[in-house]
């Protein structure tokens, strides 16, 4: 079996320290060692490297009675800028962050879902980034890296969109295309990996280290972390919960199989359910998916009985499909994210919780929490920014252009 290399371990230790700083805020070396479980010597080395590279700065110095002065360290938000990009089937959403992953600016571009040329999508990404950069008043040259979440099956190390069924893309070298037009390192990954990282760093990961982050939008999927490790699978394809069965030989799914969870819980699946309840329901006239889901939420507010039945059936499907996830993985925490979750959480979450005992084994039900995500802003963009920050730290001090770049001037 392949073992971790010394370089892997060095990167992992750096991420542990960084992650601890996000969790604890300004910390002493001792606090970082205690929190990470790393040796004081390892923490001291990493802190020294980070200080010399400008990633950390000394926030305060405390003079303890009888001891040496204690430096309290913090991430230096001004060290540079990171961009996180969420590319979905109908939009590109870009956010610029400082090095503490505080939001500086935001930009959004609509995509025509019938256009599938890579240059069209690349252009959309660039325009969204430009909008975010302008919104934040950020200097282009201060950007240390861009993380781009792409739908479908992505190979992050190769920077390739292996398969994007919505565009019928096969092996599109998206990182290369983007690095031609963006003069900074680009990191690509899949939204399920991004949402679980954002949740591990800024959401439920602060209290649990095993979780599923269930994303409900046009497509559905689950990001999974077990014992603090993001589950990627053999080919970065883990988490395709949307293409597990709810009902063998059930509704056709766009993956070609029948009866998948996505055919019931994706936005088009909700539309199918509503058409089963009332084929003439006026909400079905909404042709754009997000408009449809927003209209469902408004109609539920108004007490529409067909939409109440839709929420009931959808909650039952969701409880059943979450039951499978929990029975298989025995995870203590499920977080709901994505725009369908955001729009409908008020109706879905209580109904799902009520249904869960019918679907979860008793031994896995106790202590199980199902909650809407508390991560602020676009969780996909935030997760991609966190990946990009990780990658930046891995390259730091290894002679890469980003790593050796001198500390730039502040924005005017």
CB of 367 to a copy of itself, least distance (A): 7
Residues forming the site for a copy of itself (CB under 8 A): 1-4, 35-37, 153, 162-163, 205-206, 209-210, 222, 224, 226-229, 231-241, 243-250, 255-257, 259, 317, 320-321, 323-325, 327-332, 358-359, 361-364, 366-367
Residues forming the site for Zn ion (CB under 5 A): 243, 253, 255, 257, 260
Render the burial of 87-112: b for 16+ CB within 10 Å, e for the rest. bbbebbbbbbbbbbbebbbbbbbebe
By a kind-dependent CB cut-off of 5 to 8 A, residue 163 interacts, out of a copy of itself, Zn ion, none, with a copy of itself
With beta carbons less than 8 A apart as the criterion, state whether 155 and 162 touch.
Answer: yes
Q: Is 96 helix (H, G, I), strand (E, B) or coil?
A: strand
By a kind-dependent CB cut-off of 5 to 8 A, residue 246 interacts, out of Zn ion, a copy of itself, none, with a copy of itself
Nearer to a copy of itself, 32 or 121 (CB): 32
CB of 176 to a copy of itself, least distance (A): 20
CB of 240 to Zn ion, least distance (A): 8
CB of 268 to Zn ion, least distance (A): 12
Beta-carbon contacts of 352 under 8 Å, excluding residues fewer than 6 positions away, are 315, 318, 319, 322, 370
Nearer to a copy of itself, 205 or 269 (CB): 205
CB of 119 to a copy of itself, least distance (A): 24
- Maximum Cα interatomic distance, the chain, rounded to a whole number of Å: 79
Nearer to a copy of itself, 11 or 364 (CB): 364
CB of 326 to Zn ion, least distance (A): 13
Nearer to a copy of itself, 127 or 247 (CB): 247
Burial of 222 (0-12, 13-18, 19+ CB in 10 A): buried
Nearer to Zn ion, 255 or 297 (CB): 255
CA–chain centroid gap for 252, Å, is 28
Beta-carbon contacts of 381 under 8 Å, excluding residues fewer than 6 positions away, are 84, 85, 86, 93, 94, 95, 149, 194
Cα–Cα distances (Å) from 34 to 57, 145, 155, 183, in that order, read: 20, 31, 35, 39
Nearer to a copy of itself, 82 or 246 (CB): 246
């Amino acid at each position: 079996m392949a073992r971790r290399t010394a370089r892997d371990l060095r990167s992992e230790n750096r991420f542990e320290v960084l992650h601890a700083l996000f969790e604890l805020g300004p910390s002493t070396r001792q606090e970082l060692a205690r929190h990470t479980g790393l040796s004081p010597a390892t923490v001291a080395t990493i802190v020294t490297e980070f200080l010399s590279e400008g990633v950390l700065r000394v926030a305060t110095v405390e003079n303890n009675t009888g001891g040496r002065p204690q430096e309290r360290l913090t991430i230096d938000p001004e060290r540079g800028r990171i961009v996180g990009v969420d590319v979905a089937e109908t939009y590109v959403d870009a956010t610029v962050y400082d090095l503490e992953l505080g939001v500086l600016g935001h930009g959004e571009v609509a995509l025509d879902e019938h256009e599938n040329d890579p240059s069209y999508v690349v252009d959309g990404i660039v325009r969204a980034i430009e909008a975010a950069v302008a919104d934040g008043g950020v200097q282009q040259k201060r950007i240390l890296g861009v993380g781009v979440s792409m739908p479908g099956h992505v190979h992050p190390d190769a920077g390739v969109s292996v398969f994007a069924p919505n565009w019928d893309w096969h092996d599109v070298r998206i990182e290369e295309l983007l690095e031609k037009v963006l003069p900074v390192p680009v990191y690509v990954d899949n939204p399920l990996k991004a949402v679980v990282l954002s949740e591990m760093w800024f959401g439920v990961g602060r209290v649990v280290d095993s979780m599923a982050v269930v994303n409900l939008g046009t497509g559905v999927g689950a990001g999974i972390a077990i014992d603090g490790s993001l589950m990627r699978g053999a080919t970065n394809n883990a988490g395709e919960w949307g293409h597990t069965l709810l009902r063998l030989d059930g509704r056709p799914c766009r993956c070609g199989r029948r009866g998948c969870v996505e055919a019931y819980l994706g936005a088009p699946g909700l539309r199918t359910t509503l058409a089963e309840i009332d084929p003439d329901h006026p909400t079905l006239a909404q042709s754009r998916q997000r408009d449809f889901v927003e209209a469902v939420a408004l109609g539920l507010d108004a007490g529409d009985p067909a939409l109440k039945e839709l929420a009931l059936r959808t909650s039952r499907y969701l409880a059943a499909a979450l039951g499978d996830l929990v029975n298989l993985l025995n995870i203590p925490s499920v977080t709901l994210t994505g725009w369908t979750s955001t729009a409908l959480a008020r109706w879905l979450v209580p109904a799902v919780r009520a249904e869960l005992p019918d679907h979860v084994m008793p031994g896995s039900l106790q202590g199980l929490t199902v909650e809407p995500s508390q991560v602020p802003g676009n969780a996909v963009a935030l997760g991609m920014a966190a990946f990009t920050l990780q990658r930046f730290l891995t390259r730091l001090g290894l002679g890469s252009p980003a790593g050796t770049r001198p500390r730039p001037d502040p924005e005017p």
